[in-house]
């Protein structure tokens, strides 16, 4: 058994390193965290393997927080020491099964844009624990939870996905239930997934612009983890950046329709206008003509939607801080990185704003958002 790691984390990327892992590290000395984290690598890339080895080093890894806060420059390094083990899903599957049957109380994940996609190679034989683990994350989760149900069915289990998917907890639950049902799992296990496991909807918000080698990251000072209140949920830790709320949708709209929409709008301009290959968000914001285009989109195409939803004041307040974040002089947040999976991102970020305006009967034209959705989708690198 691995002592001191009641948190199982799927994903080794720089975001979780500078968000959840950092929060837990800061909470541990205060007695405000469940315990340490066991990190699981899902891919076979050499880069991820190098990072995995470094994550569990005794001295931890650095996260450099650089940016502006109320106009003052922040530049500090925090050493993160919350990771207690680093496993590879394929090579260390037996360890994962053992952990699920013993100390794990919370599962955290950030498996990127394709993380919830299924793999046709994953079959029902996975429940028998024979051979290699399933290939997709939802199927792996189904097997791990099956093992948990058979070993310690009454032990608490909370799942806190951090993927930028609407209602991410509910969405992941339904995918895992569908996988298990498709495998012919018994009704008792399906009930366990639906009724005993607590699937938390949450929203994460922090710009993590660069990785450090072999582990660590550069991130902005601002951070938010908005978590929808659920009965019986167990959280990894308490932290000033964690907000428990009954109105998660409000937080989602602010981030997705203002920050993420701005990022994708700048990426759209970068792609369509053939702007410099290495251009950053900061450089784009200092281009007065481009900045004016973004401000026009916020003012004319987005804020009226917030107004009609009764969230106009909150949106304008969020924008004040957001401008400071996008003008962070320290972060090299490249538009080429933001433009990855661009077609999928802009649909997720632009279409809901247009749809909300239509539902509310607004007569605003929203020409920039609509034009971006009609551009050829294969322009992203």
User: Torsions phi, psi of 334, nearest 5?
Assistant: -80, 135
The pLDDT value given to residue 2: 45
- Please determine, for residue 377, whether its predicted confidence score (pLDDT) is greater than 60: no
The token pair at 34 is 């469940």
H/E element holding 96? helix 93-100
- Location of each CATH 1.10.1040.10 domain in the chain: 249-379
The two structure tokens encoding residue 30: 């205060």
Residues spanned by CATH 3.40.50.720 within the chain?
A: 7-246
Residue 358 above 50 pLDDT?
yes
Rounded percentage of the chain residues whose pLDDT exceeds 90: 83
For the chain, state the CA radius of gyration. 21
Q: Give this prediction's pTM.
A: 0.90
Q: Are strands 72-80 and 61-69 parallel, antiparallel or unpaired?
A: antiparallel
Q: Let me know: does 123 contact 180? Beta carbons within 8 Å.
A: no
CA 251, CA 306: separation in Å to the nearest integer?
12
Q: Which residue has the higher pLDDT, 130 or 365?
A: 365
Helices then strands (H, E): number in the chain? 16, 13
- Residue 37: per-residue pLDDT: 97
292 Cβ contact partners less than 8 Å away, ≥ 6 residues apart: none
282-310 average pLDDT score: 98
When pLDDT is cut at 50, 70 and 90, the band that residue 376 belongs to is low
When pLDDT is cut at 50, 70 and 90, the band that residue 126 belongs to is confident
How confident is the model at residue 131, as a pLDDT? 66
Q: Mean pLDDT over residues 201-224, rounded?
A: 95
Question: Is CATH 1.10.1040.10 the classification given to domain 249-379?
Answer: yes
* Choices 2.40.110.10, 3.90.1150.10, 3.40.50.720, 3.80.10.10: CATH for 7-246: 3.40.50.720
Q: Phi-psi bin for 80: left (phi > 0), alpha (psi -120 to 50), beta?
A: beta
The per-residue pLDDT of the chain, averaged, comes to 93
DSSP 132: S
pLDDT value for 129: 66
Confidence (pLDDT) at 130: 62
* φ and ψ at residue 134, rounded to 5 degrees: -60, 165
pLDDT of residue 113: 65
| Residue 369 reports pLDDT greater than 90 | yes
Cβ contact 116:163 at 8 Å? yes
């Amino acid at each position: 058994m691995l002592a001191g790691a009641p948190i199982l984390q799927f994903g080794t990327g720089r975001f979780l390193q500078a968000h959840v892992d950092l929060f837990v590290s800061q909470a541990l000395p205060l007695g405000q965290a469940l315990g340490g984290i066991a990190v699981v690598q899902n891919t076979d890339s050499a880069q991820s393997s190098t990072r995995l080895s470094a994550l569990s080093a005794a001295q931890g890894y650095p996260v450099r927080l650089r940016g502006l806060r109320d106009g003052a420059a922040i530049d500090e390094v925090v050493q993160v020491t919350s990771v207690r083990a680093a496993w590879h899903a394929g090579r260390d599957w037996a360890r994962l099964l053992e952990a699920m049957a013993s100390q794990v109380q919370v599962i955290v994940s950030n498996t990127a844009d394709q993380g919830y996609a299924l793999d046709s190679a994953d079959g029902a034989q996975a429940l028998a624990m024979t051979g290699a683990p399933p290939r997709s994350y939802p199927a792996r989760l189904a097997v791990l939870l099956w093992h948990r149900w058979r070993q310690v069915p009454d032990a608490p289990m909370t799942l806190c996905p951090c993927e930028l998917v609407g209602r991410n907890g509910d969405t992941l639950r339904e995918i895992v239930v569908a996988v298990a049902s498709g495998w012919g799992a018994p009704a008792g296990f399906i009930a366990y997934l639906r009724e005993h496991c607590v699937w938390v909807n949450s929203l994460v918000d922090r710009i993590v612009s660069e990785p450090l080698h072999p582990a660590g990251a550069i991130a902005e000072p601002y951070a938010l983890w908005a978590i929808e209140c659920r009965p019986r949920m167990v959280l990894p830790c308490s932290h000033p950046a964690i907000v428990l709320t009954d109105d998660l949708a409000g937080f989602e709209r602010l981030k997705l329709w203002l920050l993420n929409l701005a990022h994708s709008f700048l990426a759209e301009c970068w792609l369509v206008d053939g702007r410099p290959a290495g251009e950053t968000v900061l450089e784009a914001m200092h281009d007065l003509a481009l900045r004016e285009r973004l401000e026009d989109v916020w003012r004319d195409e987005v804020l009226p939607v917030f107004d009609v939803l009764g969230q106009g004041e909150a949106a304008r307040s969020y924008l004040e801080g957001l401008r400071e974040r996008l003008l962070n002089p320290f972060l090299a947040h490249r538009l080429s990185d933001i433009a990855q999976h661009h077609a999928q991102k802009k649909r997720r970020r632009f279409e809901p704003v247009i749809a909300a305006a239509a539902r509310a009967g607004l007569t605003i034209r929203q020409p920039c958002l609509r034009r971006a959705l009609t551009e050829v989708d294969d322009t992203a690198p």
